[in-house]
Amino acid sequence: MPDAAIFADTHGEPKAVYSYLEWIETQVPFPVLRVSAGSLEEATLKVHTHAESERRYTRNYIPAYTRGEDGKKGMLLRSCTRDFKLRPIKAEQKRLMKEAGAEGCRVWIGITTDEAIRMKPSGVKWSENIWPLIDMRWSRHDCEAYFERHGFPKPPKSACTYCPYHSDFQWRELRDNDPKGFAAAVEFEKKWNAAIRKDKRPAQLRGEVFLHRSAVPLDQADFSSDFERGQLSLFGNDCEGMCGL
């Protein structure tokens, strides 16, 4: 039995995730601890000015797509998982270890067989990652079937509403089932471009930023079937799997 569960809050999850989290807190016999490094959206929108060179820059937290004045598309580096998930979670792990007088810990991560590519080591000697659903050979479908058999609500996908790793299916789900969340993502994209257009553009951004892989504004993007477009979600290949920890 785990001693605790840790949820790292970016303040950008869909409403369904927060509702589900509140339900989970009433179901498990251990505490569900919420930690946060602040608002990922606010941090991304902030434009900094170097004290000496006065060079303007932003921090590339989110892996947005870009399109330069020459029409070429690109993609920003990301640090959202590291800075807003891993770091606050590990800080809480250390706090719990100190409280318990322990020198190490084991972390259960709910990755399923259909996303095994996301299994990665913790990166530190004092923390060991384990994957109980992988050991049980459970897929996401198995998890959903278990919840359905027991009359539990279906777990929603945990990811920021504005995550550029969304597949077209996920964008459609957000647009059709959470219009407020989708509208917030559209507004975030507009605010981000407005922030980097102000005065002199930050040095590392050579063009506009976009949340959809087509590099067009989100409210104009085509969310046709990923299969029909011959595209797959980047989420499984590039995310460490910590968004749903």
Q: CA nearest 60: which of 192, 170, 158, 235?
A: 192
Percentage of the chain beyond pLDDT 70 is 87
Residue 206: what pLDDT?
Answer: 65
47 or 89: which leads in pLDDT = 89
pLDDT tens track for 62-80: 999 998 878 888 888 889 9
* Calculated CA dihedral for residues 13, 242, 110, 175, nearest 10 degrees: 30
Give yes or no for residue 103 having a pLDDT over 70.
Answer: yes
Provide CB contacts within 8 A for 4, sequence distance 6+: 30, 31, 32, 33, 96
Residue 225: what pLDDT?
Answer: 64
**Model pTM score:** 0.83
User: Would you place residue 174 in the very low, low, confident or very high pLDDT band (cuts 50, 70, 90)?
Assistant: very high
User: Would you place residue 47 in the very low, low, confident or very high pLDDT band (cuts 50, 70, 90)?
Assistant: confident
User: Would you place residue 245 in the very low, low, confident or very high pLDDT band (cuts 50, 70, 90)?
Assistant: very low
Q: Are 105 and 127 in contact (CB under 8 A)?
A: yes
Q: Collapse the DSSP code of 5 into the 3-class scheme (helix H, G, I; strand E, B; otherwise coil) and give the result.
A: strand
| Average pLDDT over every residue of 165-191 | 93
Helical segments of 109-167, H only = 132-135, 140-149
Residue 231: what pLDDT?
Answer: 45
Q: Are 236 and 117 in contact (CB under 8 A)?
A: yes
Give yes or no for residue 239 having a pLDDT over 80.
Answer: no
178 or 49: which leads in pLDDT = 178
Separation CA 218–CA 212 (nearest Å): 6
